[in-house]
C-alpha cells in the first residue's frame, strides 16, 4: 500500500473525502484535516490523477504524539522526530521511497515545517539528515534550487486534545507557488478543477464561464472532463488577449471565446442553450461593482441561458450572493473556503423553470 499526504485549499475537506472514495475503491483515509489529508491506497502516484491537490507527498514514516505544542516545545519535538526518523526509516519500504527517483531528479533539499510555517532546527541535525538522505538516494544536496524536497512536517490534528503528529515525506509535486505564477485574480488550477467536478459535467453538456478571466476554468474543463462544448466570455481586454493565445490550438468545435459583456450572451449563443455554468464573477476587489444590482442581473442572465435542470457553480466572496438567487435557483451547497487569505464560498445551484 502507498501512504500519501496531500495539501488542498482549506475548507474542502468533505469534497476531498468524497472524491477520494469515489475514485479509489480501496482508499483508507487516516487523517482528514483543514487543508490536508493522509490517505492510503494501492494506486501509485502516477495513476492518482487528483487535480484538486496543491501538493502530494509520499510518506516515509509517521509518528503520533500528544505533547503540548508551543514555540520551544514544537522545535524540540521536531528535532526529536527527525532523529527518530533517521533511526527508524532504515526499512526496505522507506529506503525504496527515498531512492525511487526519476532520471531528472538529481538534487534535493530538506524542508522543516510546523503548522505550515517554515521552522528552524539545529544545523548539525539538518546536515546529518541531509547525509542520510543523500546516502540512500544518491542525490546531491542543493538548498537553493533542488529537483525535489524531503519534508519533516509537524501538524496538529486536534487542538483541544493536543493530538499531534509528525511526518517524514518526499514531495512528489514540485512547482512554484500559485501566487507567483498566476495573474491577479486568476484561479489556481486545483480550485478550477474542483469547481468543474462539483458541477458534474456530462459527456454531451454545453458548459459556460461568462466571467472567464484568464481561462483557468475553461482549461480544467477541457483537459479533464468529457464535454461537448465550452463557451468562454469576458470583456476585459488583457484577459481576452491572453485567453485567445492560450486556447488558439483548440479546435473551434469544442471551444469558443467571446469578448463581450455577459449580459449579451443570450442573444449570442441562444437562450436555453447551456447545461452547466461554472464561473468566478467579479467580487469587487479588482473591478468596481454594485453588488446587489450586479448579482441580481447575473442570475437573470443565467436563467435565460440555462436549460431545465441546469447546474451552476459560482465562487464568490463570503455571503455576497445571499438573497441574490431567485426562486428558480435551488441552492444545493455552499462550501466556505480560504483562498489566498480571503474568505470565499463555492455555491452550487440547480435551475428549474
Q: Check pLDDT > 90 for residue 233.
A: yes
pLDDT digits (tens, 9 = 90+) for 318-348: 677 877 889 899 999 999 999 888 899 999 9
What Cα–Cα distance (Å) separates residue 114 from each residue in 71, 165, 166, 341?
Answer: 10, 10, 9, 18
Average pLDDT over residues 45-67: 88
> Would you give the distance in Å from CA 277 to the centre of its chain?
20
- What is the pLDDT at residue 126? 95
The secondary structure of residue 286, as a DSSP letter, is S
Three cell numbers, residue 243: 485567453
Average pLDDT over residues 27-32: 96
Judged by average pLDDT, the poorest of 42-51, 74-83, 245-254 is: 245-254
Of the candidates 123, 228, 108, the residue with the CA atom closest to the CA atom of residue 174: 108
Q: Check pLDDT > 60 for residue 161.
A: no
Average pLDDT over residues 33-60: 94
pLDDT digits (tens, 9 = 90+) for 187-197: 999 999 999 99
Confidence of residue 303 (pLDDT cuts 50, 70, 90): very high
- What's the rounded Cα separation, in Å, for the pair 232 and 244? 10
Q: Check pLDDT > 90 for residue 234.
A: yes
Helix segments in 263-320, DSSP class H = 265-269, 291-305
The topology (CATH level 3) of 181-351 is Rossmann fold (3.40.50)
pLDDT digits (tens, 9 = 90+) for 271-296: 999 999 999 998 755 555 666 688 99
Evaluate whether 2-179 and 181-351 have a shared fold: no
Q: Check pLDDT > 90 for residue 81.
A: no
pLDDT digits (tens, 9 = 90+) for 92-150: 888 899 999 999 999 999 999 988 888 889 999 999 999 999 999 999 999 999 999 99
The topology (CATH level 3) of 2-179 is VC0802-like (3.30.2130)
**Which phi and psi angles does 205 have, rounded to 5°?**
-75, 145
Average pLDDT over residues 290-305: 88
Average pLDDT over residues 149-160: 81
Three cell numbers, residue 127: 546536515
Q: Check pLDDT > 50 for residue 87.
A: yes
Judged by average pLDDT, the poorest of 78-87, 109-118, 260-269 is: 78-87
Average pLDDT over residues 5-11: 95
**Which phi and psi angles does 267 have, rounded to 5°?**
-75, -30
Q: Where are the domains of the chain?
A: 2-179, 181-351
Cβ-contact 77, 64 below 8 angstroms: no
Confidence of residue 246 (pLDDT cuts 50, 70, 90): confident
- What is the pLDDT at residue 71? 45
Tell me what the pLDDT averaged over the chain comes to.
89
∠ CA(166), CA(4), CA(343), 5° rounding?
80
Amino acid at each position: 500500500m502507498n501512504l500519501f499526504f496531500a495539501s488542498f485549499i482549506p475548507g474542502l475537506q468533505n469534497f476531498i473525502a468524497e472524491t477520494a472514495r469515489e475514485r479509489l475503491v480501496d482508499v483508507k483515509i487516516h487523517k482528514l484535516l483543514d487543508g490536508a489529508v493522509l490517505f492510503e491506497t494501492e494506486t501509485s502516484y502516477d495513476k492518482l490523477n487528483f487535480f484538486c491537490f496543491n501538493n502530494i507527498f509520499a510518506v516515509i514514516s509517521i509518528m503520533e504524539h500528544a505533547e503540548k505544542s508551543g514555540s520551544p516545545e514544537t522545535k524540540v519535538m521536531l528535532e526529536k522526530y527527525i532523529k527518530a526518523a533517521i533511526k527508524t526509516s532504515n526499512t526496505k519500504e522507506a529506503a525504496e521511497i527515498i531512492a525511487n527517483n526519476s532520471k531528472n531528479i538529481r538534487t534535493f533539499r530538506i524542508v522543516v515545517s510546523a503548522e505550515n510555517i517554515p521552522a528552524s532546527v539545529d544545523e548539525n541535525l539538518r546536515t546529518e539528515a541531509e547525509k542520510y538522505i543523500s546516502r540512500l538516494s544518491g542525490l546531491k544536496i542543493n538548498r537553493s534550487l533542488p529537483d525535489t524536497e524531503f519534508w519533516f512536517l509537524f501538524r496538529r490534528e486536534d487542538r483541544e486534545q493536543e493530538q499531534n503528529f509528525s511526518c517524514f515525506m518526499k514531495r512528489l509535486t514540485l512547482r512554484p507557488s500559485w501566487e507567483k505564477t498566476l495573474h491577479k485574480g486568476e484561479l489556481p488550477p486545483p480550485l478550477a478543477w474542483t469547481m468543474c467536478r462539483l458541477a458534474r459535467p456530462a459527456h454531451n453538456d454545453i458548459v459556460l464561464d461568462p466571467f472567464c478571466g484568464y481561462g483557468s476554468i475553461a482549461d480544467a474543463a477541457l483537459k479533464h472532463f468529457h464535454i461537448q462544448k465550452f463557451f468562454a466570455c469576458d470583456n476585459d481586454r488583457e484577459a481576452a488577449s491572453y485567453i485567445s493565445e492560450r486556447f488558439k490550438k483548440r479546435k473551434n468545435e469544442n471551444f469558443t471565446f467571446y469578448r463581450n459583456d455577459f449580459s449579451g450572451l443570450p442573444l449570442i449563443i441562444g437562450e436555453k442553450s447551456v447545461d452547466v455554468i461554472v464561473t468566478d464573477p467579479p467580487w469587487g476587489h479588482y473591478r468596481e461593482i454594485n453588488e446587489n444590482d450586479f448579482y441580481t442581473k447575473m442570475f437573470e442572465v443565467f436563467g435565460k441561458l440555462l436549460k431545465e435542470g441546469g447546474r451552476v457553480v459560482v465562487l464568490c466572496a463570503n455571503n455576497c450572493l445571499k438573497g441574490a438567487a431567485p426562486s428558480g435557483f435551488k441552492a444545493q451547497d455552499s462550501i466556505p473556503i480560504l483562498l489566498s487569505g480571503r474568505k470565499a464560498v463555492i455555491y452550487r445551484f440547480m435551475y428549474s423553470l
